[in-house]
Every structure is written in C-alpha cells, then in structure tokens.
A and B are shown apart, each in its own frame.
Chain A
Amino acid sequence: MNMFIAQTKAESIRIIRSPFFMLFSILMPLGFYFLFASLNGSDMKVQSTTYAPFAMISMTAFSLIGTAMSQFGIRLSYERRDGWVRLLKLTPLTPSTWIGSKMVAHMIVHLLTIIVIFGAAGLVYSIDLTVIQWIVCGGWLWVGSLPFLAMGSLLGTMKNADAVIAIANILQMGLAILGGLWMPLHTLPTWMQNIGEWLPSYRYAHGAWNMLNGSGPAFLDVIILLVVGVVFMVLSGYILNRREAL
C-alpha cells in the first residue's frame, strides 16, 4: 500500500511538472477558451446554452484528452524505450501496481485540471449553473476521461516512441476538430459532422453539453465511450501479454 501511494505521488508529480502538460493541457486550453469566448462573445447562443459554458466543456474535454494521450500514452512508450520499465521489473513493484498507480495519478491530475479550467471560466464569466450541474458536468468529464486513458495505453504499447508522439498529436487534433471541440459540430461541413457524431471525443463533450441544459447524456454517449474504453483496454492488454510471453 505504501508502495502504491509513493508510486502514485511520484507519477502525479511527474505529470504536473511536465512542461508539456502545463502548456498543452492547461495554458493552451485556457488561452483558446478566453480567445474564442471573447471573439464569439461569451453569451452567444450555442445549441440551447451560451458560448461560455459550452466552450468550457469543450476545452476541458480537449485538455483531458490531450493529457491522457500524451502524458499516459507517449510517456509509457518513452519509459519502455528508456529502460525504465525494465528497471522497475527488477524491483518488487508489480506491473499492476505500476499501471494502477499511473491511472490513479492521472485521475488525480484530471480532477485538478477540471477544477482549474472550471474555476477560471467561472471566475471570468457569469456561468449560470447550479451546484449540482457543476458537479455532474465535472464528474462526467472526469470519469469519461478513462476511455481516453485506454486509447493512450494502446499508443503506449508502440515501440517507436517518436512515432507515438506524431500519432498522438494527429489523433488528438483530429478528435478535437472532428469532435466539435474547437468549433461546434453543427458549424462544420456535413461530411465532417457525419464522422464527428461517432467519435468518442464528440460523445465525451456531448454528454456534458446536455447536462448544461438540465438533461442527461444521450444513450449513444455512454455506449460509444464504454465501447471505446473496453476495446482499447482489451487490445493493449492483449498486446502487452503477448509481448511478455516472448
């Protein structure tokens, strides 16, 4: 247990101290949030809500998807390449404790990220949400980041760490743009909307957007996120086990 706490603490510190995390998961989402909100007007109508809360959800989703892909996926791949994984295998730390503490560390950091972005948005704009709405929106984004950790873990199984960076960035940008996180989905060309609807990134934000007007996530939101989470987890677990057997 001591081991688990120490490992979780170390992994959390490593994420938070990473300049990439600071830049891409905190500063960039916040910067774009305030830029877009001031360009579009924070009270511009979007769907059944206004731009300030709408984009707050989008940018938090964008931030967490990025953290899961880069800090989890890229880091796993690098740690394997740099011999760190092999080194840990020589200690009494078990692989399940290691991966488990990494995931817990991510969930801690994700929660902090949600608090920071929600807090910044709430301080600057008068966002009209009940306490319950703040909590369920945050909670949905928090739990909903798990499938993206699963995607990250599949990226982490790749041996070429440099290729992982490129793929993670393309994937993250593609998911963000096509998922309507940069610009609302209905403003995109129809063919992009047709793809976007099925992406986990859209479903992730969509669930929380629905909560802004008092309704719950759509059935498809839950299903797509669940399927993505399970498929990627099974896939990366399978690859890692096969590699172990060699």
Chain B
Amino acid sequence: MTYAIEVKDLVKQFGDFQAVDHIDMKFETGKITALLGPNGAGKTTTISMILGLLKPTSGTIQVLGQPVGTKALRERVGAMMQDVKAPDGLRVDEVLQLFRSYYKKPLSLTQLLDISGLHGEAKRRAASLSGGQRRRLAFAQCLAGDPEMILLDEPTVGMDIEARGRFWDTIRAMAARGRTIILTTHDLEEADAVADYITMIAKGRVVAEGTPAALKAQTALRTISFHVQTIVTEAELLSLPGVEKVEITGARIRLHVQDTDRILAELLKTSWGVSDIDVSSAKLGDAFRILTQ
C-alpha cells in the first residue's frame, strides 16, 4: 500500500489558538479520502499546510514522497480552494487556456470544458458566471495539468444537485484512473457516499478514521424500536445489557444500543409482549456527533 500524503505530528498554532493539534495521518494513493469535521475543526488549515500555503508550527508532511511547496510537486498536484473569485476581464476559455499554459502536459481545452460542463459558457466572461458555474470553472482549473493528486476544499458548496452528481462522477472516474483525491467536507452524507476512507477531525485532532462502514460499526449505536403490551419503566430498559439511551413514546420504545443481536434475544425473553420490532443501522451522522462532541 502506498501513500500519497504522509503527515506526522503536525501542529499549527495561531497565537494562543492551536488550530491543528498533533495530527498524524496518511492518505492512500488512488483512493478518495474525506477529511470530515465540523466548521473550525482545522480542515482548511491542514489542507493549506499540505499544499504549502501555510508553514506548520512543527511536524512533517510528505506529498508524493517529497517535501511540500516545490515547483515539481505543483506540477503534479491540483487543488481547489474555497472562495476564489474568477479573474475579471477574461472569458471562460481564456482562463482555462491560461491555466493550461502553466503545465507541461495539460488536458485539452475540450476535456476541461467537458469536465466543467461549461461548453455553452466558453465565450462568456468568467466573472459573470453564477456561483455554481464558477465552482465548476475552479474545478476545471485545478485539473488543467492532469494532476496525480487532487485536493478539494469543500468542493460542492454552491453546486446544485445535477452539478454535484456530475462532479462526483468525474471524481470517481479520476480515482478509477489511479488519481488520489482528498476532499474536506462537513457534509456527512457526501463523505459517506463518495469516500473510500474517512478521517474525522475535531478541534484540531484526528478523532476517528476508517472506511465509512467501519466507522459506523465501530462508533455508532444502532437503534431498535418496538411496541410493548405492558408498562415498562426507563430504569428497567436501561438495565438491559448494552443500552445507552432510551426514548419512550406511548407504547413505542426506542433503544440506542451497541449490539442489536444480543438485545433482541433479551427482549424476546421478557414478559412485556414485545412486537413490531424495527432495527435500524446507525447513520454516519450519529457517529460524527458522538465523536466530535
């Protein structure tokens, strides 16, 4: 297994504020990895250091086997940051041609227009594009050099559903071609749906990492809900093995548990007249909330 990025003991201090607090992480080559965390968790700071835009207070970062910030590396890495305005005075095709000129082996203009879906807007001024179109242009710009590794900071903010779909299709196709993709997001469903691997960070630390399925299994509780015939107290429910939380709505009870198989057996042994049982797997969101609290 090879790693496109290896981050060791990374720290970034802004005055008294520790934005990144001794982070260790690795991003596997050819995979889509999501850096997931609430706002202010240190995602953008981490990405900025990986890109060489910010100097770490301490720690080391290796990107594609090299130290960050070299020109050779910028040839191989594409990045899309948040909140970049389009340059005034240039048309969409002119912006893309300009970015193509920076690289030795650029993608063709047609390919870039395909990726961004901006064929119809090619002759329009970049500054007159809508927010979503501008994001798509920024995405095409970061792919101009046909990079081996792509870093995306909150890529789909401002995109509509259709653009988002096309965007993720492109990302998946690139990963299939062996490109390494790292994206930051605070959108759990997005990370769950797209990423091969998720690194969750909160308050500048890595709080969990793994595949979306492993993260759910490892950290999240499952819920089991059912009807009862008799009156059952909360204390009785909490005394069952592995029950973390109880919600009672009339005759319907919902339990948050670690191990649903075990609790199911216990429930059937009781004399409460348990019926209409519904087991649901945890959502990544539950895991996320628990871990980042």
* Chain A residue at minimal CB-CB distance from B100: A6
* Chain B residue at minimal CB-CB distance from A81: B85
Contacts of A10 in B (CB 8 A): 87, 90, 94, 98
A83 CB–B CB distance under 8 Å: yes
Contact pick for A83, options B78, B83, B101, CB 8 Å: B83
Contacts of B89 in A (CB 8 A): 13-15, 17-18
A93 CB–B CB distance under 8 Å: yes
Minimum CB–CB distance from B277 to chain A (whole Å) comes to: 53
Q: When A2-B101, A7-B98, A91-B102 are in contact, do A83 and B85 touch as well, CB less than 8 Å?
A: yes
Q: Is the CB of B88 within 8 A of A18?
A: yes
B177 CB–A CB distance under 8 Å: no
Interface residues on B, range: 20 to 34
Give the secondary structure class of A's interface.
Answer: helix
B269 CB–A CB distance under 8 Å: no
Minimum CB–CB distance from B58 to chain A (whole Å) comes to: 16
8 A Cβ contacts from B27-71 to A: 51-53, 55, 71
Q: Is the CB of B84 within 8 A of A82?
A: yes
User: In the complex, A5 Cα to B97 Cα: how many Å?
Assistant: 12
Contact pick for A84, options B55, B71, B85, B99, CB 8 Å: B85
User: In the complex, A90 Cα to B68 Cα: how many Å?
Assistant: 11
A86 CB–B CB distance under 8 Å: yes
User: In the complex, A10 Cα to B145 Cα: how many Å?
Assistant: 18
* Chain A residue at minimal CB-CB distance from B70: A92
A45 CB–B CB distance under 8 Å: no
> Count of chain A residues with Cβ under 8 Å from any Cβ of B?
24
User: In the complex, A6 Cα to B106 Cα: how many Å?
Assistant: 14
A230 CB–B CB distance under 8 Å: no
Q: Is the CB of B81 within 8 A of A83?
A: yes
User: In the complex, A222 Cα to B74 Cα: how many Å?
Assistant: 42
Q: Is the CB of B84 within 8 A of A87?
A: yes
Contact pick for A92, options B81, B83, B97, B145, CB 8 Å: B145
Contacts of B81 in A (CB 8 A): 83, 86-87, 90
A126 CB–B CB distance under 8 Å: no
User: In the complex, A90 Cα to B79 Cα: how many Å?
Assistant: 7
8 A Cβ contacts from A1-25 to B: 2-3, 5-7, 10, 13-15, 17-18
Minimum CB–CB distance from A147 to chain B (whole Å) comes to: 25
Contact pick for A6, options B85, B88, B98, B141, CB 8 Å: B98
Contacts of B87 in A (CB 8 A): 10, 14, 79, 84
Contacts of B99 in A (CB 8 A): 91
* Chain A residue at minimal CB-CB distance from B125: A17
* From B53, B87, B145, residue with most partner A Cβ within 10 Å: B87
A94 CB–B CB distance under 8 Å: yes
B168 CB–A CB distance under 8 Å: no
* Chain B residue at minimal CB-CB distance from A244: B55
Contacts of B88 in A (CB 8 A): 14, 18
User: In the complex, A93 Cα to B97 Cα: how many Å?
Assistant: 14
B209 CB–A CB distance under 8 Å: no
User: In the complex, A90 Cα to B97 Cα: how many Å?
Assistant: 17
Minimum CB–CB distance from A57 to chain B (whole Å) comes to: 29
Q: Is the CB of A90 within 8 A of B53?
A: yes
A89 CB–B CB distance under 8 Å: yes
User: In the complex, A5 Cα to B236 Cα: how many Å?
Assistant: 78
Minimum CB–CB distance from A208 to chain B (whole Å) comes to: 30
Q: Is the CB of B71 within 8 A of A92?
A: yes
User: In the complex, A91 Cα to B98 Cα: how many Å?
Assistant: 11
Q: Is the CB of B84 within 8 A of A86?
A: yes
8 A Cβ contacts from B89-121 to A: 89-90, 94, 97-99, 101-103
Contacts of B97 in A (CB 8 A): 6
Q: When A13-B90, A14-B90 are in contact, do A92 and B84 touch as well, CB less than 8 Å?
A: no
Minimum CB–CB distance from A96 to chain B (whole Å) comes to: 12
Q: Is the CB of B84 within 8 A of A89?
A: no
8 A Cβ contacts from A88-110 to B: 89-94
Contacts of B98 in A (CB 8 A): 6-7, 10
User: In the complex, A89 Cα to B102 Cα: how many Å?
Assistant: 11
Interface residues of A (CB under 8 A from B): 2-3, 5-7, 10, 13-15, 17-18, 79, 82-84, 86-87, 89-94, 246
In the A-B complex, the 10 residue pairs with the smallest Cβ-Cβ separation, listed nearest first, are A6-B101, A14-B89, A82-B85, A83-B84, A17-B89, A91-B102, A90-B79, A10-B98, A92-B74, A93-B102
Of the A-B pairs whose beta carbons lie under 8 Å apart in the complex, a sample of 28, sorted by A's number, is A3-B101, A3-B102, A10-B87, A10-B90, A13-B89, A13-B90, A13-B94, A14-B89, A18-B88, A18-B89, A83-B81, A83-B83, A83-B85, A86-B81, A87-B84, A89-B52, A89-B53, A90-B51, A90-B74, A90-B77, A90-B79, A90-B81, A91-B74, A91-B99, A91-B103, A92-B75, A92-B102, A92-B145
Q: A5-B101, A14-B89, A17-B89 given. 15 additional CB < 8 A pairs? A: A2-B101, A3-B101, A10-B90, A79-B87, A83-B83, A83-B84, A84-B85, A86-B53, A87-B81, A90-B79, A91-B102, A92-B71, A92-B74, A92-B103, A246-B55
